[in-house]
Amino acid sequence: MIIKQFFHKLCKNKKLLILSVISIFLIFSICFTLLFFHLVPEAKYRVKTFFGGIFVSAKLKPCKGVETAEFTLEALTNDERVAFNQALMLVNGDNPLEEGFEANVGEYKDSTVYMNECLFDAYASLSAAISEKFDTKLYIKSSYRTKEEQQEEYEESPTIAAKVGCSEHQTGLALDVYVPYHAGYAFIESDAGQYTASDGWRYGFIIRYQYYNTDETNMAYEPWHIRYVGFPHAEIITKGQLSLEKYIESMKIGELYEYKDYIITRQKAGEKLVLPKDFESAAISPDNCGNYIITLRCSGK
């Protein structure tokens, strides 16, 4: 009787009726959203990625007014300010590794895990952050592979694994990671996996094969496959939702670009490179396309 009277009163009061309908809709929507995120944890990451692509901007800008000079490779090799690494090598079906390529790999902390030496500190920082934030340990399922190991991988899984020479694992720059109970695709369903995907750039890592650029990478989505590219490249690629292919392609040969405190340039591999005359530090990496990508910090930047 009381319920009947309430609905009778509600129907007479249009304003109250509208407010009631809106309230019920909002409550239902919130409950549905919470249930959906619980049943489909990856949805949280995809929603965050969607809005990040709208509101977050990270782009290289042309750098002007910088005095440049020519530097020989020999001079740069002997310059204490300069470090050479392989962090920005593009490896895929169109850009296979050269015959005789040797990765700068070493054993990580007496773990029997081998990876490119340029990511030792970065992985240690990411692993420590995962342990601190989520009280779990980040494990490595696969890291550096020799030619022979990659051939075995390809023969076992030809529809997933890359051919010899076309796999980033041969550079030691790629790691397949997981946390307990969340390996493979399930990695992105964990809080640690979502943090790695959205904030791994803070440590120099990207998710190499994202769900939103499979047409550019020609690879299926692999949320467990992280790739070291270093700073500030990881931030630009992640926030700009770029593939490594598209990012490297965006740099015109010989042009100088700036991003925050960095100047970046991509130049033909040769005896001489044109760089800012005064710089504090520089990292030089081949891009596996016949060029070098040089990342500099300069005075006044």
User: 256-265: per-residue pLDDT in tens?
Assistant: 999 999 999 9
| CA dist., res. 35 & res. 213, Å (int) | 28
**What kind and span of H or E run contains 129?**
helix 120-134
282: which strand partners? 82, 296
Report which secondary-structure segment, H or E, holds 268.
Answer: strand 262-268
User: What does the block give as tokens for 24?
Assistant: 């019920």
Q: Please give the angle made by the CA atoms of 154, 289 and 107, to the nearest 5 degrees.
A: 55
Question: Confidence band (pLDDT; 50, 70, 90) for 271?
Answer: confident
How far separated are the first and last CA of the chain, in Å rounded?
75
Backbone φ and ψ for 134, nearest 5 degrees, come out as: -125, 5
Where in 138-249 does DSSP place strands (E)? 139-142, 174-178, 205-209, 222-228
Global pTM value: 0.86
**Residue 36 confidence (pLDDT):** 42
Task: Give the tokens for residue 237.
Answer: 């690629």
Question: Could you give the angle at which helices 120-134 and 191-199 cross, rounded to 10 degrees?
Answer: 140
In the numeric block, which tokens belong to residue 200?
């791994």
**Greater model confidence, 148 or 159:** 148
Residue of 171, 177, 85 lying closest to 129 (CA atoms):
177
Q: If you search the block for the tokens 């390996």, which residue do you land on?
A: 183
Q: Which amino acid is at 289?
A: C
Give the separation between CA 279 and CA 164, rounded to whole angstroms: 38
- Give the span between the Cα atoms of 124 and 290, in whole angstroms: 31
pLDDT of residue 34: 41
Angle between helices 42-55 and 14-39 (to 10 degrees): 110
Strands (E), 143-216: 174-178, 205-209
Q: Mean pLDDT throughout 159-182?
A: 94
What are 127-151's pLDDT values in tens digits?
A: 999 999 999 999 999 999 999 999 9
Alpha-carbon gap, residue 53 to 49, rounded angstroms: 6
What DSSP designation does 301 have?
Answer: -
Q: Where are the alpha helices (DSSP H) in 1-107?
A: 2-12, 14-39, 42-55, 73-77
Structure tokens at 156: 């076992």
- The answer to whether residue 68 scores a pLDDT higher than 60 is yes
In this predicted structure, the answer to whether residue 38 has a pLDDT above a threshold of 50 is no
